[in-house]
Chains A and B, each alone.
Chain A
Amino acid sequence: MATMEIRSARKTYGTLCVLEDINLSIGDGEFIVLVGPSGCGKSTLLRMIAGLEEISAGEIRIEDRVVNDLPPKARDIAMVFQSYALYPHMNVADNMSYSLRLRKADKPTIADKVRDASAKLGLGALLERKPKALSGGQRQRVAMGRAIVRQPKAFLFDEPLSNLDARLREQMRAEIRKLHRALGATSIYVTHDQVEAMTLADRIVAMHGGHIQQVGTPLELYDRPANLFVAGFIGSPGMNFVEGAVELGTFVMRDGTRLPLPEGMPETLGGATLGIRPEHVTLGEGLAAEVELVEPTGHGIILHLRLAGAVFRVLTTDRRWLTPGDQVQVGLPAGALHLFDESEQRVAPAPHPQQ
């Protein structure tokens, strides 16, 4: 268990800069999720922490020790790979104990720790098997077992669930969360799946284009996204955006449709974007829209509407019978609106959305 501190970290490959000015403090026992689309630099950042990539500038500290020039083995961290990276020529027990054997732990200790870890993960019956005789979920567990067996300072996860099918992923997600609660170890978890980020994280670090966009608790990112990218990335289905401008406290869409803004928003703003989450849009009174597509999810319906020339998604649990071509009226509650300026930054702190 350890704290971590990343200061002005940078990563360049030749002239190509993939990470710039990364600053992040991670508390002891915290579960941090790095989330972003592919190519945003999140895996590179994780690998820099692990010591698998060099740090071009800045510094990374683990427990007040600068680890920039330490090889991975000296950093005392464990990592779970997306591919699991199990050693194919070793059985499960040997895979899990490899790190202990490298540290020349004595045999009874190794046996104890492997037994503990395999009991925690329900791998007891599989210890003699080779990786190729395991299912995807079992391999994933062995990879986790290999990480927890030596009680490292921190756990790093590089998209550990993305090779599993949806149901198993859900199950393993819960197990990772439980495991973290049981072990209390500092964890950094990389994913491109915002649902995983929301459900697992103590704090989410949203990344895009080699920069950190926002750091905060899952609900902070959901309720008060710092910019257009975070607003669009967090939440599923994604936030609706309408471009336009603010005039006299009213949002004017490109086609001239006007929408009153709540108190506290700026009076004028040229080139603004208005955002609202699909689940906050109400059906009933309001702006006229045409149904383009109906996607039933079982729990509710996702409606794709054409509103003021833009595609608008609405998530409703109201099971009314709608078909493409129908005309509906949608309400955009003032309290649920997010406003972003020309540089895509959030402007006014919108009040909490209506429940």
Chain B
Amino acid sequence: MLKTIAHRVAILCFIAFSLFPLFWLLKVSVTPNDLLYSEGVRLWPSRVTLDHFSFVLANSEFPRFFGNSLIVSGTTAVCTTILAALMGYALSRFRFRGKLWLAGLLLVTQMFPLVMLVAPIFKILAPLGLTNSLAGLIVVYTAFNVPFASFLMQGFFDGIPPDLEEAAMIDGADRFTAFRQIILPLGLPGIAATLGFVFTAAWSEMIFALMLISGNDKATFPVGLLSFVSKFSVDYGQMMAAGVLALIPACLFFLMIQRYLVQGMTAGAVKG
């Protein structure tokens, strides 16, 4: 009993700790500018306003950043997940020469700090006309996310008994049909998790977006946020309002997929 209580309290502390910045974001976004510095540190302002939100939506370039981010993150998530599903399946089911080396190589790609790679990536993309374009960002994000996403998908496929697709193949399916009709539906939780993971990773990526994109036309939202920082002042209210708005798609996305994240669909497939 005491153990459960301690356990719960610990979890509560952790949740409070991790959610507090989000709360602060919300708090500042609804604080009128004149109260921001005058009221000192308090948990909730004496007067709230939605002015920052309406300004951000109507008078800033934020909607464009938002749209760009949506395109980049969405496309990256879809491309990465398709590639990772195929790759993960191969890693999970097939024996082939050099598999260990391939897996090792995938891991090695994850070892370098992104900053190191910015210059070479720029050098590669520039002659291809992929700098300052959303397509370029999508290519780079996909390339960087595929290795980890493949491992993620491999883990999910490993959890699906190979008997199932063997049964399908004996029933008359070829391997790809078995993959499509049996394994993919059962892998939905994994696919959803991968989609979500890659989407959020791309959504919040900053370094490449900053380096590869110049000008507000193609800027994604994290880069756009910097436009609220001017030479002489930072418009915290608007910046935070934009931040709150940017949280919405990520939250929606997770609401949509959380059903799959917690659901164990393979239950009952094999001996229960």
Question: B104 at interface (Cβ–Cβ under 8 A)?
Answer: no
Q: Is the Cβ of B172 less than 8 Å from the Cβ of A73?
A: yes
Question: A253 at interface (Cβ–Cβ under 8 A)?
Answer: no
Q: Is the Cβ of B267 less than 8 Å from the Cβ of A88?
A: yes
Distance of A81 Cα from B163 Cα, bound (Å)? 7
Q: Is the Cβ of B172 less than 8 Å from the Cβ of A103?
A: yes
Q: Is the Cβ of A133 less than 8 Å from the Cβ of B164?
A: no
Q: A81-B166, A85-B161, A85-B163 given as contacts; is B269 within 8 A of A146 (CB)?
A: no
CB distance from B270 to the nearest CB of A (A): 4
Question: B185 at interface (Cβ–Cβ under 8 A)?
Answer: yes
Q: Is the Cβ of B172 less than 8 Å from the Cβ of A83?
A: no
Q: Is the Cβ of A84 less than 8 Å from the Cβ of B182?
A: no
Question: B36 at interface (Cβ–Cβ under 8 A)?
Answer: no
Q: A85-B163, A131-B268, A132-B272 given as contacts; is B170 within 8 A of A102 (CB)?
A: no
Question: Which residue in A51, A79, A163 is a CB contact (below 8 Å) of B167?
Answer: A79
Q: A71-B169, A89-B186 given as contacts; is B270 within 8 A of A84 (CB)?
A: yes
Q: Is the Cβ of B271 less than 8 Å from the Cβ of A136?
A: yes
Distance of A84 Cα from B269 Cα, bound (Å)? 8
Q: A52-B166, A79-B167, A102-B177 given as contacts; is B172 within 8 A of A85 (CB)?
A: no
Q: Which of A33-54 contact B (CB under 8 A)?
A: 50-52
Contact with A along B164-180 (1 / 0, CB 8 A): 10111111111001000
CB distance from B63 to the nearest CB of A (A): 40
Question: A224 at interface (Cβ–Cβ under 8 A)?
Answer: no
Q: Is the Cβ of A85 less than 8 Å from the Cβ of B164?
A: yes
Question: B265 at interface (Cβ–Cβ under 8 A)?
Answer: yes
Question: A86 at interface (Cβ–Cβ under 8 A)?
Answer: yes
Question: A222 at interface (Cβ–Cβ under 8 A)?
Answer: no
Q: Is the Cβ of B170 less than 8 Å from the Cβ of A72?
A: yes
Q: Is the Cβ of B268 less than 8 Å from the Cβ of A81?
A: no
Q: Which of A41-100 contact B (CB under 8 A)?
A: 50-52, 71-73, 77-79, 81-89, 98-99
Q: Is the Cβ of B170 less than 8 Å from the Cβ of A88?
A: no
Enumerate chain B residues within 8 angstroms of A71, measured Cβ to Cβ: 169, 174
Question: B266 at interface (Cβ–Cβ under 8 A)?
Answer: yes
Distance of A99 Cα from B178 Cα, bound (Å)? 11
Query: Could you tell me how many residues of chain B have their Cβ less than 8 Å away from some Cβ of chain A?
Result: 24
Closest to B95 in A: A13
Q: Is the Cβ of A87 less than 8 Å from the Cβ of B174?
A: no
Question: A348 at interface (Cβ–Cβ under 8 A)?
Answer: no
Question: A130 at interface (Cβ–Cβ under 8 A)?
Answer: yes
Enumerate chain B residues within 8 angstroms of A146, measured Cβ to Cβ: 167, 171
Q: Is the Cβ of B169 less than 8 Å from the Cβ of A163?
A: no
Question: A288 at interface (Cβ–Cβ under 8 A)?
Answer: no
Quick one: which of A82, A87, A163 has the most chain B CB within 10 A?
A87
Question: A183 at interface (Cβ–Cβ under 8 A)?
Answer: no
CB distance from A154 to the nearest CB of B (A): 11
CB distance from A92 to the nearest CB of B (A): 11
Q: A81-B163, A102-B177 given as contacts; is B269 within 8 A of A87 (CB)?
A: yes
Enumerate chain B residues within 8 angstroms of A85, measured Cβ to Cβ: 161, 163-164, 166-167, 269-270
Contact with A along B254-272 (1 / 0, CB 8 A): 0000000000011111111
Chain B contacts to A: CB under 8 angstroms: 161, 163-164, 166-174, 177, 182, 185-186, 265-272
Chain A contacts to B: CB under 8 angstroms: 50-52, 71-73, 77-79, 81-89, 98-99, 102-103, 130-134, 136, 139, 146, 163
Beyond contacts A89-B186, A99-B172: 9 other A-B pairs, Cβ-Cβ < 8 A, are A52-B169, A71-B169, A72-B169, A73-B173, A85-B269, A86-B268, A88-B266, A132-B267, A146-B167
Q: List 13 A-B contacts (CB under 8 A).
A: A73-B173, A81-B166, A82-B163, A83-B161, A83-B163, A85-B163, A86-B268, A86-B269, A87-B168, A87-B182, A98-B171, A134-B268, A136-B272
